[in-house]
A and B are shown apart, each in its own frame.
Chain A
């Protein structure tokens, strides 16, 4: 792969041409990954890029459809997690996948208990567990229940478990997502000492700072394909982000002239105002104003806290701090209150949180409208028919049959029905989380046009999308998110390009 390979020890893991297909999707398509002893290797990519699938191929959770996995020179076909563990590959999964009702010692040693004849020798097993904990500088009682410890300690217990087998390869899937700064530092100390002992470590994290701090080399995936492998220190942050999201900064800058609408001066009160709104473990406190007739874009990589912002604004999650006012009045924090006061939220996960597949298009449209009226006052059939008819025509829903089950519609048309559902409640503010994800170009343009029209009619819009040029094309102001923080707000103008946003994301990272 790279010419510098020779300078390093022989790889301990070589995955070549790994392909995994799920019904209808190629989750991985000919991906290569090489891990060398004594090296921390980052696996980079946005959600859905195939990182987790690749890890699960290596740990035997998924079976590969094509490709080769060579561990320490021998080719393996893993069919069970046990096979992979026997080959010296240990994994610490994103969620702490241990049994919280068992003791620390049991969680660390299960599968490798010390025996006395047919019996487990508990005192010896606990002693051994204590030794492994000591290697990680963790001084806790091995017989205490795992659930009595903090997530960070549980995470370290998972690592201790991974090291019991004398692992040659340690996979850490988002190990830091639930840790605070001091705990992360502690974890990194442990990772470094393991690295120095010659363990190959595969590290996955959304936090770019951590990638640059701890990893030596990185592999970038996008849409289930291998993009490239680099030495971490040789790859500038900007290029890393571009490679992950699939557009180079220069190419993005060339995007044709957009119809920028200069943000009008807003003297009047904003429609929605969030002051220091935040929630522990979800998103750091942020300020946000949305005026009537304005489209505010929210940009950032996946996992940067975009959806969390939307959920807080809508009241789907209860805010831990800060104040949210709508139309000058403090808002209650429940979805139903939001609907009644004229706020609509079309969520990111169309299938799970949006449509109800086994109901018809007509019923799906009626949902939010009915919710705002309460269960005892059904929407009169005639009125509903009129509403359904109007929006299906206005949004060009195809096929134009209100009695079809919505699950049989294409993604783009499902999205339009969802829009219709919220427009039927006549909202004054609409929050759209990834309204164009996974739908074709034509439908995408149609939805963008609709959003612009709605704002033109005086509706406030919060527009969230991972496609930067889409955000830039539509919004007057762009809020930039990173690592669950609002890191900036850019007023859109002719000289603002996606490069500007990428630079904002990258710059604030190196500054911190």
Chain B
């Protein structure tokens, strides 16, 4: 019996191009390309995430060059601390959204759920309900909406777009039923949670870790565990193959329940994000989070997930949120109108979608030969 030797057809494996061809390749580039980290990052599946990291680096360098003063560097722990304080709710949303998008679905309800959760939490706390109960209830509201969408998608065969659109209207409508006015949260326990932080450094260098950052970090760890170290996570990726779960089911994996679970996860993340947002603003408001679901989707796409499903990483999505947040910081430092943020996000998003398109094109051409 002979041995089948098959190299991956798309010969973008850096090892092949950069073999010992002669004298000139032993330079920096060759050494760089054989570096295991670089090799990993230039893998086709990781390319979009690499793109995100490059974008992140470019923004940081631009910021460092333009906004550093003699007295203070732009790049500092303080920058990242502030970035995370302002965006941890979005990180949690983006992590939940990543699960859904990897299966090829979408969840439009999360922004409205954030508003509903914030208002319910505010209302209940004002009514004097115990804090732990209120917080758990808040998260469960998100879980319930996720379950609703998941069941509609899996068992009633409704498009994720439509199912989550219905849930979005439902949540937004309910938020208006709870209150059409902004409700300030004055509960002492809640205020204590909101202001809890561990401080580092002194004076201008001072930075801190607050509760939202801790929560977002824990959610991130759980998400990485679920997506990369469990059969469930692999099934999530498998569902994104684009064959309606046929392959996954024929492989004997639990395709249908997994599909429901991703929406439950996204909904639960929306519930958690709702509480984080309430902690951030110390209030609940029915017009909160309009378009927030689109911010989350944009962050996930910038983070390298394919909207068609099958690819993406939670860490990429976190990087996507950071790119998003940093663009806001840069716009503010430039003294530009905050609307410019949207313009830049639009440009970055477009660039990433084009990058993905170029990749799938090359992939398609590779398969044809």
Give me the interface of A with B, judged by CB distance under 8 Å: 61, 80-82, 85, 91, 93, 97-102, 106, 110-111, 113, 118-120, 122, 137-141, 144-145, 147-150, 153, 156, 161, 186, 189, 193
- A161 vs B249: C-alpha distance in the bound complex, in angstroms? 14
B2 touches A (CB below 8 Å): yes
| B342 at interface, CB cutoff 8 A | no
Give the distance in Å from the alpha carbon of A82 to the alpha carbon of B250 in the complex: 8
Q: B5, B44, B234, B366 — which one has the most chain A CB atoms within 10 A of its CB?
A: B234
Interfacial chain A residues near B1, Cβ < 8 Å: 137, 189, 193
Residue of chain B at shortest CB distance from A103: B45
Contact in complex: A145, B8 (CB < 8 Å): yes
In the assembled complex, the CB of A162 is this many whole angstroms from the nearest CB of chain B, namely 10
**For A144, what are the chain B residues with a Cβ–Cβ distance below 8 Å?**
8
- Tell me, in angstroms, the Cα distance from A147 to B368 when the chains sit together: 12
* Given contact pairs A119-B225, A120-B229, A148-B9, A110 touches B4 in the complex (Cβ within 8 A): no
Whether the pair A120, B230 counts as a contact (CB closer than 8 A) is: yes
Interface pair B9/A101, CB less than 8 Å apart: no
Partner of A139, one of B5, B45, B230, B252: B5
**In the complex, B219 has a CB within 8 A of chain A:** no
Contact across chains for B6 and A149 when beta carbons are under 8 A apart = yes
Whole-angstrom distance between the alpha carbons of A193 and B237 in the complex? 33
29 pairs, A vs B, C-beta closer than 8 Å = A61-B250, A81-B249, A98-B247, A99-B251, A101-B240, A102-B237, A102-B238, A110-B235, A110-B251, A111-B253, A118-B225, A120-B229, A120-B234, A122-B229, A137-B2, A137-B4, A139-B6, A140-B6, A145-B8, A145-B44, A145-B45, A147-B367, A148-B9, A148-B10, A148-B44, A148-B366, A150-B6, A186-B2, A193-B1
Interchain CB contact under 8 A, B250 and A81: yes
Per the CB 8 Å criterion, the residue count for chain B at the interface is 36
A237 vs B241: C-alpha distance when bound (angstroms): 41
Q: Which B residues touch A149, using CB under 8 A?
A: 6, 8-9
How far apart sit A170 and B1, CA to CA, in the bound complex (Å)? 21
Question: Which B residues lie within 8 Å of A98 (CB)?
Answer: 247, 251
Query: Which residues of chain A have C-beta atoms less than 8 A from B2's C-beta?
Result: 137, 186
Verify B363–A147 contact, CB threshold 8 A.
yes
Q: Once the chains are docked, how many angstroms separate the CA of A144 from the CA of B235? A: 18
Mark B238-277 against chain A: 1 for CB-CB distance below 8 A, else 0. 1011010011111111000000000000000000000000
B240 / chain A contacts, CB cutoff of 8 Å: 101
B357 at the interface (CB under 8 A from A): no
Q: How far is the CB of B131 from chain A (nearest CB, A)?
A: 31
Task: Tell yes or no: B333 within 8 A of A by CB.
Answer: no
Given contact pairs A101-B310, A137-B2, A110 touches B238 in the complex (Cβ within 8 A): yes
The 8 Å CB contact of B251, one of A111, A120, A122, A156, is A111
Report how far A122 CA is from B241 CA in the complex, Å: 21
Besides A81-B252, A137-B3, A137-B4, 15 other CB < 8 A contacts? A99-B241, A99-B310, A101-B237, A101-B240, A110-B235, A111-B253, A113-B231, A118-B225, A118-B229, A120-B229, A138-B3, A140-B4, A148-B44, A148-B366, A193-B1
B311 in contact (CB, < 8 A)? yes
B291 vs chain A, min Cβ distance (A) = 30
Whole-angstrom distance from the CB of A37 to the nearest CB of chain B?
22
- With CB as the reference atom, state the residue of chain B lying closest to A116: B229
Task: List, in ascending order, chain A residues with CB within 8 A of B8's CB.
Answer: 140-141, 144-145, 148-149
- Give chain B residues whose Cβ lies under 8 Å from the Cβ of A141: 8
Question: Given A98-B247, A120-B231, A139-B3, are A150 and B9 neighbors across the interface (CB < 8 Å)?
Answer: yes
Contact between chains at B225 and A82 (CB < 8 Å): no
Q: Which residue of A lies closest to B369 (CB)?
A: A150
6 smallest A-B Cβ distances: which pairs? A148-B8, A101-B310, A99-B238, A119-B229, A82-B252, A99-B241
Residues 80 to 109 of chain B near chain A (Cβ within 8 Å): none
Q: Which residues of the other chain, A, contact B5 by a CB distance below 8 angstroms? A: 139
Interface residues of B in 297-346 (CB under 8 A from A): 310-311
- Flag if B4 contacts A156 (CB, 8 Å): yes
State in angstroms the CA–CA spacing of A149 and B253 once bound together.
23
CA distance in complex: A85, B9 (Å): 32
CA distance A102 to B235 in the complex (A): 10
Evaluate contact between A138 and B9: CB separation under 8 angstroms: no
* Residue of B whose beta carbon sits closest to that of A92: B250
| Contact of A93 with B4 at beta-carbon distance under 8 Å, contacts A99-B241, A101-B310 already known | no
CA distance in complex: A119, B250 (Å): 24
Q: In angstroms, how far is the closest chain B Cβ from the Cβ of A83?
A: 9
Residues of B within 8 A of A111 (CB): 231, 251-253
Contacts of B251 in A (CB 8 A): 81, 97-99, 110-111, 161
Q: Which of B229, B253, B311 contacts A101 (CB 8 A)?
A: B311
Question: A99 is contacted by which of B45, B225, B248 (Cβ under 8 Å)?
Answer: B248
A106 touches B234 (CB 8 A): yes
CA distance A28 to B261 in the complex (A): 36
* C-alpha spacing A99/B229, complex, angstroms: 17
CB of B342, distance to nearest CB on chain A (Å):
32
Task: List B contacts of A106 (CB < 8 A).
Answer: 234, 237
- Which residues does chain A contribute within 8 Å of B6, judged by CB atoms? 138-140, 149-150, 153
With both beta carbons as reference points, the residue of chain B lying nearest to A156 in the complex is identified as B4
CA–CA, A61 and B310, complex, Å = 24
What per-residue 1/0 map shows which CB atoms of B29-56 lie under 8 Å from chain A? 0000000000000001100000000000
Determine the chain A residues whose CB is within 8 A of the CB of B363 once the complex forms. 147
Least Cβ distance of B8 to chain A in Å? 4
C-alpha spacing A148/B365, complex, angstroms: 11
**A102: B residues at CB distance < 8 A:** 234, 237-238, 241
* A97/B9 contact (C-beta < 8 A), A119-B225, A120-B231, A186-B4 known: no
Q: How far, in Å, is B101 (CB) from chain A's closest CB?
A: 13
- B234 in complex: contacting residue of A110, A138, A140, CB < 8 Å: A110
Task: Collect the chain B residues with CB atoms within 8 Å of residue A139's CB.
Answer: 3-6
- Residues 1 to 29 of chain B near chain A (Cβ within 8 Å): 1-6, 8-10
